[in-house]
Amino acid sequence: MKSCLVVDDSKVIRKVARHILEGLDFAVAEACDGQEALDACHESVPDVVLLDWNMPVMSGMEFLQALNGLNLPNRPKIVFCTTENGIAHIRAAIDAGADEYVMKPFDRDTLEGKLQLVGVA
């Protein structure tokens, strides 16, 4: 079973993502900010991280930078989540090491397609 860490400060987004991912047979863990996500990655590295940009405590970008600093041998794939008006962030996220991005709100087909693109679905 593949594992996915859903990182978003929105409980609704986490719930929607969990529902979709469990339907795709992923083991799902949740974090509500980048720091929680980093702590979770120290415990066990997921196959893929679904990463929000705007979060309190530690943003998606700060999480990416911290993750890069860990130099993990088994780095998780990163699918960065953004909104239409966050489109300028996509390039910065890819430059910081995100593998793919998905626009919010996403549906099952869109998310599954992105997971296939990064090789985890």
Residues 81-100 interacting with Mg ion (rule: CB under 5 A) = none
- Give a three-class secondary structure readout of 62-108: HHHHHHHHHCCCCCCEEEEEECHHHCCHHHHHHHCCCCEEEECCCCH
Q: Tell me: does residue 62 bind Mg ion (CB under 5 A).
A: no
Applying CB under 5 A, which part among 28-36, 53-61, 80-88, 101-109 lies near Mg ion?
A: 53-61
Selected binder of Mg ion within 3, 35, 54, 65 (CB under 5 A): 54
Nearer to Mg ion among residue 60 and residue 76 (C-beta) = 60
The residues that touch Mg ion, with contacts defined as CB under 5 A, are 9, 52, 54-55
